Amino acid sequence: MATELIGREKVLAKLKAMPAAARTAIKGALKANSDQIVAMQKRLVPVDSGDLRDSIRAEWGDVKLASSANLASGGGGSLTIKGDPDLTVTIVAGDEKAFYARFVEFGTAPHDQGGWAEGTKHPGTTPRPFFYGPWRAMRKKSKSSVSRAINKAAKQVAAQ
């Protein structure tokens, strides 16, 4: 005796539509969250010339940092769907002009100088964190909003 599933085609169509709807919802949530984090970081960064503030940005996909002095968050953290570059956002601070992002965030130790100032001692700098604090503060909220976006997309697809 065979059992017939009534509405099988409709259920299969909804399941097929789910990934596209979820991807769109996830991307929207990631964009909103990364924009909030970048805005908070730009408000907290100490400004001299403005180069460091202007270098803070969110980049989609796999990001290769230009320098070890750059800062990045998001890889493997709250703003990424592992294995999917279309759903990965990395927040970056620092570029060719603002190569000193790491030095501002973590400070520097006292050290002997070379070059034209050889023989002098640099006193070091105090840390002025602006980057990882906002990212850590928003991480849990970001994860929650991505989960809500996925659930909302699932409900919308199921209601069709």
Residue 88 CA: distances (Å) to CA of 84, 139, 150: 6, 14, 15
**115: in domain:** no
> Is residue 8 assigned to a domain?
no
Q: Does residue 6 lie within any of the structural domains?
A: no
9 domain residue, yes or no: no
User: Residue 157, CB half-sphere, CA atoms under 13 Å: how many?
Assistant: 22
Task: Say which DSSP state 13 is in.
Answer: H
Domain that includes residue 50, residue range: 26-110+121-159
The whole-number mean pLDDT for each consecutive block of 10 residues of the chain, a chain of 160 residues, reads 60 68 86 93 93 91 68 53 71 88 92 89 92 89 86 80
Within a domain: 17: no
User: In this structure, are residues 16 and 10 in contact, taking their beta carbons and an 8 Å threshold?
Assistant: no
Answering whether pTM is above 0.95, one says no
Specify if 141 maps to a domain: yes
Provide the pLDDT for residue 32. Answer: 93
Q: How many domains does the chain have?
A: 1
Establish if 7 belongs to a structural domain. no
Q: Is residue 96 part of a domain?
A: yes
